[in-house]
Amino acid sequence: MAAPSDVDGRERRPAGLTARFPVRRLACPHCGAAFDAPRRAISIRCPACTGQLQLQDAVLSSTVQGTVRTLGHVRIARRGSVTGQIECGCLQVDGAMNAAALVHGPSTFTPKSRATGSLRTRSIIVAPGAVLDLDLIVGDTVGARAATSAVDEVRRRLHERSAAAAGA
């Protein structure tokens, strides 16, 4: 008797294949080409444009000002605070983000997270309790560029906010 997987006449990929050779699907931020990279790689060249891509994962558990750029997973820990610019493959915020962020994969905001600034992300999960005050775009990020003057922009917004609070 034919197995259900024979119905369309094609052989299915063995279930264990991706488990034995774990990869992550990446979109090159330079040219938009999609390709698979070994999950353990920390740096790779885009096969289409040969641009060098960093893949390190980062856990930020202190106060960070500046730019964080990787196609890996960035996590802002509960006590962490990032002011500046973030570009990454995957973002999880448990602490505070005051940034212009471009995330080529999913962004997750956990219950005690706080975020101001802007976020462009492929998809988003917001837990109840998260406080977000963001310019938000959810969808395709191919060809998107991270905002350049992010730190100045964040400072301007914080200034506007404190000015508004003082005037109220």
Q: Which stretch binds Zn ion (CB under 5 A): 25-33, 93-101, 125-133, 140-148?
A: 25-33
31 binds Zn ion (CB under 5 A): yes
Instruction: Please say which residue, 46 or 100, places its beta carbon nearer to Zn ion.
Output: 46
Nearer to Zn ion, 27 or 86 (CB): 27
Kindly state the number of chain residues that form the binding site for Zn ion, as judged by CB under 5 A: 8
- Residue labelled with tokens 């488990």: 19
Question: Looking at beta carbons only, is 28 or 60 nearer to Zn ion?
Answer: 28
Contact status: 30 vs Zn ion (CB under 5 A): yes
Find out whether 86 and 101 touch, Cβ atoms under 8 Å. yes
Length of the chain: 168
Return phi, psi of residue 121, to 5°. -145, 155
Q: Work out whether 34 is an interface residue with Zn ion (CB under 5 A).
A: no
Closer residue to Zn ion in complex, CB, 142/158: 142
CB 38 within 8 A of CB 22: yes
Residue 132 identity: L
Q: Name residue, tokens 């917001």.
A: 126
Choosing from 26, 28, 144, 151, the residue that interacts with Zn ion (CB under 5 A) is 28
> Scanning residues 41 to 80, which ones bind Zn ion (CB under 5 A)?
46, 48-49, 51
Answer yes or no: are the C-beta atoms of 133 and 116 closer than 8 Å. yes
Q: Which residues contact 46 (CB under 8 A, 6 or more apart)?
A: 28, 30, 31, 33, 35, 53
Give me the least distance between CB of 143 and Zn ion, in Å please.
Answer: 11
Shorter beta-carbon distance to Zn ion: residue 46 or 91: 46
What token pair was written down for 75?
A: 């996590």
Residues that bind Zn ion in the complex, under the rule CB under 5 A: 28, 30-31, 33, 46, 48-49, 51
